[in-house]
């Protein structure tokens, strides 16, 4: 069980050290959801900020405006500009932290659509970056189905997944006000996961 908050109001107590000497690690994090109150975006942000001194960029999928993908639309407009921007934003990272929202056992429609546009430009979407894959949901399943799907296909899209964790019952296990996990075992799992980046 977890304790976590959408907006980090104070730094995590136990921050991890950057592995690279002299260089600042750049981490790109996002939740695969367009919800304004996305718990997956919150989880990704929390995890990414555990690396002390890292330059963390949290993407908002609402920033990428792409039409519903079809081959007909692709012939009409060519490559979607914001899909190119999404790929460029990922390419700037040294590592990725992604938390997947689950809609009816699969990816959110908005994420899948953006991802489909991106793969038509560059199949290697995640640019061989080391990544931590996460998922969470309000219920006991913790979005395990979508996390398994994402992890299973990661190798085909250039994601070097170092670890993955599903967090169940988000609102019960994460304290949004404090920005911390209630369950220290899960907190340690997240720490260990991001330490592999």
The 10s digit of each residue's pLDDT in 146-191 is 999 999 999 999 999 999 999 999 999 999 888 889 988 899 999 9
Average pLDDT of the residues in 77-98: 98
Q: Within a 10 A sphere around the Cβ of 57, how many other Cβ atoms? A: 14
The pLDDT assigned to 178 comes to 87
The pLDDT assigned to 177 comes to 85
Name the nearest CA neighbour of 74 among 122, 121, 135, 131.
121
Q: How far is CA 148 from CA 100, 141, 170, in A?
A: 10, 12, 18
The pLDDT assigned to 11 comes to 38
The pLDDT assigned to 22 comes to 55
The 10s digit of each residue's pLDDT in 109-140 is 999 999 999 999 999 999 999 999 999 999 99
Structural contact between residues 95 and 133, judged by C-beta atoms closer than 8 angstroms? no
pTM: predicted TM-score of the whole model, two decimal places: 0.88
The 10s digit of each residue's pLDDT in 1-10 is 333 333 333 3
Q: Within a 10 A sphere around the Cβ of 140, how many other Cβ atoms? A: 9
């Amino acid at each position: 069980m977890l304790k976590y908050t959408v907006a980090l109001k104070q730094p995590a107590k136990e921050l991890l050290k950057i592995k690279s000497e002299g260089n600042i690690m750049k981490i790109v994090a996002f939740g695969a959801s367009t919800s304004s109150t996305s718990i997956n975006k919150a989880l990704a942000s929390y995890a990414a900020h555990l690396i002390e001194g890292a330059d963390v960029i949290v993407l908002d999928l609402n920033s990428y405006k792409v039409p519903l993908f079809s081959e007909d639309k692709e012939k009409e407009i060519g490559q979607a500009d914001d899909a190119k921007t999404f790929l460029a934003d990922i390419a700037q990272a040294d590592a990725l932290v992604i938390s997947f929202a689950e809609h009816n056992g699969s990816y959110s429609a908005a994420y899948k659509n953006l991802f489909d546009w991106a793969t038509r430009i560059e199949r290697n979407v995640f640019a061989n970056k080391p990544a931590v894959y996460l998922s969470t949901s309000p219920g006991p399943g913790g979005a395990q189905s979508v996390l398994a799907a994402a992890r299973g296909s990661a190798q085909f899209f250039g994601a070097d997944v170092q670890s993955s964790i599903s967090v169940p019952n988000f609102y019960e296990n994460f304290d949004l006000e404090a920005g911390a996990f209630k369950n220290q075992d899960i907190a340690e799992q997240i720490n260990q996961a991001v330490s592999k980046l």
